[in-house]
Amino acid sequence: MSKYMLNIYNGVYSVLLGMTITLRQLFRPNVTHQYPYEREFEVNDNIREIPVGYRGQLHNRVEDCIVCKKCAISCPVDCIYIDSRKPEKGKAWETMNVIHLKDQTRIVGILDKKPPKEITDDIQLTVQHINPEGTTYPDIPAGATVKIGGEKVDRIVDRKKVALFMDRFDIDMSLCLFCGLCTEACPTECLTMKDGLEGIEYSEFDRDDLIYKFADQSLYK
């Protein structure tokens, strides 16, 4: 009989204890987030420092890509899709420079002299084209020579004479294993894995949105 009463006591006690904890939490601020509906919370409070070399989301700096397909061949799950074609006669460009400005403008042109490692002085170039649209240099026609203040320049890369135009460069991140083999195989090191916060946060509701499309036809204008 005493064991029976003890069981009843334990049952009632554990229910009351559980309800007390529940009631207490009811009046405290939420610690959970309705992710991915809520994305604006302070990620730094919730995520530890991301180590250098972390293998996150893939990114292709396409202006440096030579469409060699080594990345696609080395991918164990075949999630990189590349289509390319030979440029028509006379349409291939000579070696050019791509000037990345700090305001995200990208100017493709030919510099009048080899760029220094540290860009402090003004640079002068003959413009081939500028993108994206709506930049700070919308009115400069192709063929114009412009001077740009060194303080505005983020980096300058060489774009070698191309053998192939890139029609399609898609990566299906929903299949990717994050093994990094494609980045190891890339001869121009244009294919990288982001190791910052933006490299880990890219959930989507629609699987198709995880197919990243990098081909940029404006490069071939």
What are 79's two structure tokens? Answer: 């999630």
3-state secondary structure 65-133: CCCCCHHHHHCCCCCEEEEEECCCCCCCCCCEEEEEECCCCEEEEEECCCCCCCCCCCEEEEEEEEECC
Our CB check for ligand SF4 shows the closer of 72 and 146 to be 72
Which span (21-29, 67-75, 128-136, 150-158) binds ligand SF4, by CB under 6 A?
Answer: 67-75
Yes or no: say if 110 and 92 are a contact pair by the CB < 8 Å rule.
no
- 215: contact with ligand SF4 by CB under 6 A: no
* CA angle (196 as vertex; 194, 198 as ends), nearest 5: 80
Give least dist CB 220 to ligand SF4, A.
Answer: 15
Instruction: Answer yes or no whether residue 211 interacts with ligand SF4 by CB under 6 A.
Output: no
The residue within the footprint of ligand SF4, chosen from 16, 21, 43, 77 (CB under 6 A), is 77
The residue count for binding ligand SF4 (CB under 6 A) is 29
Q: Per CB under 6 A, which of residues 118..177 are in contact with ligand SF4?
A: 171, 176-177
**Residues with Cβ within 8 Å of residue 67, at least 6 apart in sequence:** 82, 84, 162, 163, 164, 165, 166, 169
Site string for ligand SF4, 20-59 (x = CB under 6 A): --------------------------------------x-
Verify binding: residue 65, ligand SF4, rule CB under 6 A: yes
- Quote the CA–CA distance of 199 and 219 in Å, as a whole number: 25
Q: What does the binding site for ligand SF4 look like in residue numbers (CB under 6 A)?
A: 58, 60, 65-71, 74-77, 79-80, 171, 176-182, 185-188, 190-191
